[in-house]
Structure 1
Amino acid sequence: MERKEFLKRGFSALGLAAIIPVISCSKDTVDPADTSTEAGSTPGSCTLTASETAGPFPTKSPASLVSNDITSDRPGAKLNVKITIQNKNNSCEGLEGALVDIWHCDAAGNYSEYGGTGMQSTNYTNLHFLRGRQTTDASGLVTFTSIYPGWYSGRATHIHVHIYNASGKSLLVTQIAFPEEISKVVYAQGAYASHGQADTTNARDNVFGDGVSTEMSTVTGNVSAGYELTHAIVVNA
């Protein structure tokens, strides 16, 4: 089954089994001069966030991938990822001790741990790049060092996130969206150039097509110095 067909057929138990109401606070603005966008928590502006599918390439053994730097050997623009988990049931205070797994594709649109099939022809079944787990600190923050995600047919740029409480109970499966203006700049050069520009916008994406206001990240920086992504997710814990 091709990835595009998987997306068209909808999202079964892979991601929907973990749907739990979550809220995320975001505001989106774009400044073309420095190719950055601002989105983040604003008191009183929290809205329910859509839970999303884990997709066809979830991490198989996340507990074995506890790592801050998940880059491995993958080339691409440096990306520092900062995700804050907040607890709605505690006045949106930071949730300490939450387990946060993230994973995304490389500059060519391929995932580790999978391959050799119609879903992904390149075989990376024995590699584990661009996947990692961290535990939130007292302020609910986790950080990762990675590369700016690439893209693949039928999907806009994104990062997958799965959040658990300290006991391992699933709280949310979701995805993080990226500002298209920055992605266009990144995809025009370096390891991304041969793959070209993304063929799907956020608006036409099968996951984000219903809106990205609650999943849009803040991304600042530039290709030479690298980028920083910040995103806040509020869960019922």
Structure 2
Amino acid sequence: MTPPDSQLPLGRRGLLAALGAAGLSASARPAPAAQRRLPLTAQTTEGPYYLDLALDRRDITEGLEGVPLDVRFTVCDTAGRPLPKLRVDLWHCDMQGRYSGFGEQGDDRAQSFEGKTFLRGSQRTDRAGIVSFGTVYPGWYAGRTTHIHFKVINGARAVLTSQFFLPDALSEFLYTQMPLYQRARMRDTLNSVDGIALKAGGTVLGAVREERQRYVATLALVVDPAAVPVIDRPPRPGGLPPGGPFPGSTPLSGARPPRPRALEGSARIRAMVPPRAEG
């Protein structure tokens, strides 16, 4: 449900500018094919919360409240040619870090959303390779930065399984200022320390802009339509924190990895500001 104007965030432009959010966005427009071949979008772990439901729909909110977000992908090959008629799946957590379709959700792991399908959907790319989803800005859960999962499927093959990451400065503002997103504790993991985001690199940093009563996140997905990648598919939830093992950790048998410690004060601000380019 779209909140009225009075509930939309105020003062965010100043925050984004102060934290250098412009530098956190990656270009969503492929380079001309004549210039160079484009790097493939990085594969990442599928995570334990994927469901192959093939829910053909653009609006995946199912009436769920939250800050409106449109997600728009342009899918092309390494020469920049658009790839039409490919299926794109999208899924992510709600404003409090909970996934539909699974139990053991929430900070206390006591909530169940089994049988629910919110914030999941599939669309086919059009002739220009474009696909879009209407959703809400995702929340966070322990050990992971803000992210959205997606797959690109050609026929019966997933040619790309990955996640994309949203600007820390914008996430910080929404999580601290919007009641639906506020939590009893501070978000513990930022883009700059999330192991999955660091390994994936710049090809999965989404560019975000403001439109009337919503944000729009865009990202170019560069895929090999003939690829047969190995999919990293962690076990389904049970005995591990939401999202599986924390990035870079190796859980002991029967043990749950400790939660990362949230940065505070100036250290937190520095971690959200992208490093300056040398030269």
- Please give the TM-score of this superposition, normalised by the length of structure 2: 0.66
**1:76 counterpart residue number:** 66
**1:99 counterpart residue number:** 87
Distance 1:234 1:195 in 2: 39
**2:130 counterpart residue number:** 141
Distance 1:116 1:221, change over 3 A: same
1:114 is the counterpart of 2:106: no
**1:67 counterpart residue number:** 57
Distance 1:117 1:217, change over 3 A: closer
Equivalence map 1:1-237=2 (5 Å): 32=17, 38-40=25-27, 41-43=29-31, 44=36, 46-59=38-51, 61-63=52-54, 65-88=55-78, 91-116=79-104, 120-165=109-154, 167-188=155-176, 189-194=178-183, 197-210=186-199, 212-221=201-210, 225-237=213-225
CA displacement at 1:220 relative to structure 2: 1.1
Distance 2:213 2:142 in 1: 28
Distance 1:62 1:218 in 2: 27
Distance 1:99 1:159 in 2: 16
AA aligned to 1:67 is R
Distance 2:202 2:58 in 1: 27
Aligned length: 202
Distance 1:82 1:182 in 2: 18
**C-alpha RMSD of the superposition:** 2.5
Q: Secondary structure at the match of 2:169?
A: helix
CA displacement at 1:45 relative to structure 2: 7.6
Q: Is the 1:81–1:144 contact (alpha carbons within 8 Å) kept by the matching residues of 2?
A: yes
Distance 1:175 1:46 in 2: 18
Distance 2:194 2:21 in 1: 22
AA aligned to 1:115 is G
5+ residue gaps in structure 1?
1-29
Q: Is the 1:94–1:140 contact (alpha carbons within 8 Å) kept by the matching residues of 2?
A: yes
CA displacement at 1:39 relative to structure 2: 2.2
Distance 2:209 2:37 in 1: 22
CA displacement at 1:218 relative to structure 2: 0.5
AA aligned to 1:53 is T
Task: Name the stretch that deviates more: 134-143 or 200-209.
Answer: 200-209
**1:22 counterpart residue number:** none
Higher alpha-carbon Rg: 2
- Please give the TM-score of this superposition, normalised by the length of structure 1: 0.77
Normalized per residue, the structure richer in strand is 1
Q: Secondary structure at the match of 1:49?
A: coil
Task: Name the stretch that deviates more: 181-190 or 208-217.
Answer: 208-217
AA aligned to 1:39 is A
Q: Is the 2:39–2:222 contact (alpha carbons within 8 Å) kept by the matching residues of 1?
A: no
